[in-house]
Chain A
Amino acid sequence: MTDRIPGFSTLAVHAGAQPDPTTGARATPIYQTTSYVFESVDHAASLFGLQTFGNIYTRIGNPTTAVLEERVAALEGGTAGLATASGHAAQILVFHCLLQPGDEFVASKKLYGGSINQFTHAFKNFGWNVVWADPDDISSFERAISPKTKAIFTESIANPGGVITDMAAVAQIAKRAGVPYIVDNTLATPYLCKPIDQGADIVVHSLTKFLGGHGNSIGGAIVDAGTFNWSRDRRYPMLCEPRPEYHGIVLHETFGNFAFAIACRVLALRDIGAALSPFNAYLILTGIETLPLRMRKHCDNTLAVAQWIVAHPKVAWVSYPGLPADRFHALAKKYCPNGAGAVFTFGLKGGYDAGVKLVSNVKLFSHLANIGDTRSLIIHPASTTHRQLTDAQKTEAGAGVDVVRLSIGIEDVEDIIADLDQGLAD
């Protein structure tokens, strides 16, 4: 006899949360505390030694944050989760547990620009070397693998939108190479796509975007799929070697199929310290409760806006995989059948000046550097985030002078289109 499995919307509301054991409070309380008293010296020893479950200090764990962690893990179908101060923090913690100085990882070159920066510059100081591959040519991932490769990293739907990674194909390459496959699922969210079902071993999120969804909190998450065997060889010493700071315990042996999430918590988060505030965890949790409703509306609005804008005389091209003519439409149907997300780019025939004019003219769209808000957002990368680059570098980064990026909100679509219409008018 097996139990009935609840659906996605039920999990979005309930997973991880239950009425508070002491007060019966139904909404998840904000445990705004740094620390937790011990029952006895022995209890403290059990907690510090990882022999019992519980909270010690909010940098390492917090009961409000734990609800968020379980909820994201449940929505992704993973064995365990860890919340972090930001999406970028999630990435650094994951790589801290996988790489030693001198090691390499393979990453798609179609990523959020901030991740390209982090991998290129910050990671270099740790001796972690990124090798770029091209999602338009899946075999380039295979060619990028070397004996030093410890992981492969892609986004599901890549920011600034338009590119959908053939995750099942990349997962096969990771499997053959014996390395974990990490997917940043920020733009799709588990409502549109579940990377673990496609062979991802680790999922990371910027909760700042659609999961939180209201533009009010920075946060990140790591989900352990529980699929990777860390003890097959000796390549992942954080997981398969005795840990001196925990009296010689071996994390994979002790925690089995959620050992990676535990390593991220008790080694990486503990020592690097990029913990999420419980208040932010509370806001993001509240956001997640409406994730299915919001994503449906985001995707419906975005498809309508993309269809309208592709026919506009001042628009040269639109890159949105939800459009049937888009070159990524087939992959979108395979991986995100319920919608291709709410972020996309388009090109203006009028180039740089036309981009500047549009972001200045709009009145409903907010001109800012974020995505995944209830509000519609707009940015002209060439005059803002990518300003320092040469024109050639801008084009290579998908931020040519003519490019405008939209993140479509959940307002009435007629109002969104009307604002773009007046913004594009002479």
Chain B
Amino acid sequence: MNHDSYSDSYIRGILNTVKTIAMVGASERANRPSYFAFKYLLERGYTMIPVNPLRTGEQILGRRIYVRLGDVPDPIDMVDIFRSSRHALPIVQEALALNPRPQVIWMQLGVRNDEAAALAEAGGVKVVMNRCPKIEYGRLSSEIAWMGVNTRTISAKKAIASGGIQRLSLNRASVSGGTTEAADAAERSERGGRRIIQARNL
């Protein structure tokens, strides 16, 4: 599978299927990117489970923090890795040992580990790398367009309000709408270097 670009239907399919997400590296600090993503996904109805070996407290937004994936008592649909690329392999190994096995391994924006991805795929697990599920949810629902962000989607179908105020559903019919090639190329050229974006909180 090509991990330089993903189709919208692949990403939408994952975000529409998974219900329980274990976020490895979720921070208790309210100004960290992982906390932002955790809170947003929780508000969008996902069952969020924080996992953090360096936890200092007991919970994040009322959700109990576990030290290791193996400690989580409930089945996990997706493991979201909010740690640097070099930590991804052991986390994937741990995830693959779970029973039942998660359906998806997701590595955050700025996190990419091709060896870990190959291992997961060999185990029948879907992989997304170098993306943020919050941004992807915002992009595919088009909520993120309120911030002027190029969602790279277009649609002649009505966006679907999903209850409450200023909430849009992921189940919007859209087609691809433009590219951000220069940004993607810049990302690639810095990969492996010291680009410090997100996923820096551990």
Report A's interface with B, CB cutoff 8 A.
1-6, 10-11, 14-16, 18-22, 24, 36-39, 43, 46, 49-55, 61, 63, 66-67, 69-70, 73-75, 77-83, 196-197, 225-229, 231-232, 242, 246-249, 252-254, 256-258, 261-262, 265
Contacts and interface: CB of A to CB of B under 8 A. Distances in A.
A84 to B, nearest CB: 11
Contact of A18 (B30, B142, B187, B200): B142
Contacts of A36: 165-166
A55 B147 CA distance: 8
Contacts of B98: none
Contact of A3 (B148, B175, B190, B198): B175
B179 to A, nearest CB: 6
Contacts of A258: 147, 149-150
B178 A225 contact: no
Given A22-B161, A36-B166, A254-B198, A53 B144 contact: yes
Nearest to A252: B197
Given A77-B178, A227-B182, A254 B158 contact: no
Contacts of A81: 148, 150
A82 B110 CA distance: 24
Given A51-B36, A73-B148, A15 B175 contact: no
Contact of A256 (B39, B132, B168, B185): B132
Interface in B112-145: 132, 135, 138, 142-145
A70 B175 contact: no
Nearest to B130: A256
Given A43-B164, A79-B183, A248 B39 contact: no
B190 A229 contact: yes
Interface string B166-202: 1010001011111111110111001000111110100
Given A2-B5, A20-B158, A242-B31, A265 B148 contact: yes
Given A6-B176, A242-B31, A14 B154 contact: yes
A242 B40 CA distance: 21
A249 B35 CA distance: 11
15 contacts: A2-B2, A5-B179, A6-B154, A21-B159, A39-B165, A80-B149, A83-B148, A196-B182, A225-B182, A226-B186, A227-B185, A247-B30, A249-B36, A253-B197, A261-B148
A54 B164 CA distance: 12
B86 interface: no
B147 A18 contact: no
A18 B182 contact: no
Given A18-B154, A80-B149, 8 more contacts: A11-B154, A16-B145, A50-B36, A54-B166, A70-B149, A73-B150, A78-B150, A80-B148
